[in-house]
Amino acid sequence: MSMFAKQGGKSRTGRLPSLVPESVAAIQMGIALFALLAWETVARLFRTDFWTSSPSNVMVELWRWAASGLLTSDLQLTLTEAGLGFLIGSAVGGLIGFILGWNRLLGNLFEPFILSFYTLPKIALAPLFVLWFGIGITNKVMFSGMLVFFMVFFTTYQGTRQVDRDLVENARLLGAQPWDIWTKIALPYSAVWVFTGIRIGLPYALIGAIVGEFVAAEAGVGFRIKEATSFFNTAAVFAGLIILMVISIILLGILKFVESRALGWQSAKGSIQPETQT
């Protein structure tokens, strides 16, 4: 054994030691527990809880937040903002990306404008959105929608533009009418890119809502985090962050599920070889 190891890395590149899923989960739980424990210990031993808070303080803060009834209403508000922004941004971004991606003429026409928006840090538009849409929910929905829009739009547009034009011509030779090209080639082809864009864009829905609430708001998870910061309430800040983390994990889970349903063909695995000679 040691001889093989010495003679070259070759024998080591074969495969990784495999773990059964249950033990992976157990180890991950262990890591999480260890991190929490370390956090608590450091906070108590070195009295860093002003800056780092501690898991126990955060739990207390979460409980207080929930008991006051504000957690539910804050969550509701932030999720509504992010959700609406996500829906609007994905729909508009997917549609426009699809059209400009397939229509060479329109795509080329708008390309310079698209590129100039591509590099703009969109977050910088937040104050402008307050000016346009006030400090209510409309502002956050629009801002979140704008962020998602760009993500979905760029991904769909660029992905769709890569389509092999010969593929389309081949379909026309096979007898496809324009309507067939749209429904049987273009839409399914772009669907992959729309989904990719949506997956990239999903976190931005939440970012948009939170940043919107940071800039100007009267409620919401983001507003609560900002408020807690101004009172130097580190535990409440972490409580807000934990809520955000949980939300995004749940959202990604939902998205993965939907995607596996819609794009099942992508998960087809393995190569199939003919068994009988023909």
Partner 1 sequence: MGMTALTMPPLPAHDDRETVIDFQGVVARFGGLHAMGPTSLTVKRGEFLAIVGPSGCGKSTLLNMVAGTLKPSEGTVRYKGELVDRINHNVGYITQKNFCLPWRTVEANVRLPLEFRKHPKAETAARVAAALEKVGLKGFEQAYPKQLSGGMLQRVMIARTLAYSPDLYLMDEPFGSLDAQLRTRMHGELLKLWQETGATFVFVTHDLHEAITLADRVVVMSKRPGRPKLVVDIDLARPRDVIDVQSDPAFSAYFKRLWTALDVH
Q: Is 170 in the site for partner 1 (CB under 8 A)?
A: yes
> Is residue 178 at the binding interface for partner 1, with CB under 8 A as the rule?
no
Interface with partner 1 by CB under 8 A: which range of 53-61, 67-75, 160-168, 219-227? 160-168
Residue range at the interface with partner 1 (CB under 8 A); choices 26-34, 102-110, 145-153, 262-270: 262-270
The answer to the question of residue 119 lying near partner 1 (CB under 8 A) is: no
Spatial CB neighbours of 193, under 8 Å, sequence gap ≥ 6: 97, 101, 155, 156, 158, 159, 160
Q: Does 260 bind partner 1 (CB under 8 A)?
A: no
What is the footprint of partner 1 within residues 185-224 (CB under 8 A)?
Answer: 185, 188-189, 191-192
**Is 255 buried (19+), middle (13-18) or exposed (0-12) by CB count in 10 A?**
middle
Size of the site for partner 1 (CB under 8 A): 31
Provide φ and ψ at 19, rounded to 5°: -120, 145
Dihedral angle of Cα 55, 58, 59, 63, to the nearest 10 degrees: 180
Tokens describing residue 276: 């009988």
Two structure tokens written together for 89 = 């941004």
List Cβ neighbours of 40 (8 Å cut-off, separation of 6 or more).
54, 55, 56
Question: Does residue 272 belong to the site contacting partner 1 (CB under 8 A)?
Answer: yes
18 binds partner 1 (CB under 8 A): no
CB of 201 to partner 1, least distance (A): 22
| Residues forming the site for partner 1 (CB under 8 A) | 164, 166-167, 169-177, 180, 184-185, 188-189, 191-192, 263, 265-266, 268-275, 278
